[in-house]
Amino acid sequence: MVLKILLIIAVVVIIYFVFFKKKPLKNSDKSDVSDMVECSACGVYTQIEDSIISNNKYYCSKECLEKR
């Protein structure tokens, strides 16, 4: 009886962690670390999708690309 209750609690806790812990972790990892690049002209950090890549350097905007 007690073992069964403990097993149910364990399953619920595992489900809770799988659904609530994984999602935010994955999101913050992606946007904070791997997807941020530093602009070579002004030093501002931008999302890699929003940046302009030229000569293996990242720029936050067209103005910075022309300014360099």
Binding site for Zn ion (CB under 5 A): 39, 41-42, 44, 60, 64
Q: How far is the CB of 38 from Zn ion (least distance, A)?
A: 9
DSSP string, the chain: -HHHHHHHHHHHHHHHHHHHTHHHHHHHIIIIIITEEE-TTT--EEETTTSEEETTEEESSHHHHHH-
Q: How far is the CB of 53 from Zn ion (least distance, A)?
A: 13
Q: How far is the CB of 55 from Zn ion (least distance, A)?
A: 15
Residue number with CB closer to Zn ion (24 or 43): 43
